[in-house]
Amino acid sequence: MSARTATVTRTTRETSIRVTLDLDGAGTTSIKTGIGFLDHLLDALGRHARFDLTLACEGDLQVDDHHTAEDCALALGEALDRALGERRGVNRFGWALAPLDDGLARAVVDLSGRPFSDIALGLRREAIGGLACENIAHVLRSLATASRSALHVDVLKGDNDHHRAEAAFKATALALRQAVALSGFDDVPSTKGTLGGAGRE
């Protein structure tokens, strides 16, 4: 089996990002976005998905956190898409529940090659650790778009917004870990015969 790795650089007038990703890692991460809570969430994603993930971003934080949050997710999603290749031999589907104290989140993912997201976190605070709460859901949506995956994430309960958000990312990580895992079959798990590569839509 060839290495399921990718390196992505994304440079605009708003952000400069470099991501390296290994789907078959041990959960070793190094995240430096300039936004403390975004680092925390992406670290949780990498660690619990068991991805080796390095992400460094220099963004226009003097404007606000939006460009950095969105572009980091887009770069990570692109790296996931590239590392998966034609998505041969993967489980394709993954689902998980993850608690964090009072918070409980559910995530379901399909590496379908067709981007879709439905994210309901129910956050009430304006921001957590320098990251606007509206951008937390946006990170998950952008990740789904760039990785060409269907992603459904719901926070089922919880009073603490930090716990709700982190549980959502942990559930997403566990669902991704299951979806990218090798099935033992050397086929593309689709009636269409393609999920990626030359068959990209």
Which CATH number does the domain 5-194 belong to among 3.30.230.40, 3.40.50.2000, 3.30.70.20, 3.30.930.10? 3.30.230.40
pTM of the predicted model as reported, rounded to 2 decimal places: 0.93
DSSP letters along 128-187, please? ETTEEHHHHHHHHHHHHHHHT-EEEEEEEE-S-HHHHHHHHHHHHHHHHHHHHSB-S--S
pLDDT category of residue 86 using cuts at 50, 70 and 90 = confident
The domain spans of the chain are 5-194
| Each residue's pLDDT tens digit, 2-53 | 899 999 999 999 999 999 999 999 999 999 999 999 999 999 999 999 999 9
pLDDT category of residue 182 using cuts at 50, 70 and 90 = very high
Average pLDDT score over the chain: 93
Do 86 and 188 meet the contact criterion of CB atoms below 8 Å apart? yes
What contacts 38, CB < 8 A, 6 or more positions away? 31, 65, 68, 69, 72, 129, 130, 131, 139
pLDDT category of residue 100 using cuts at 50, 70 and 90 = very high
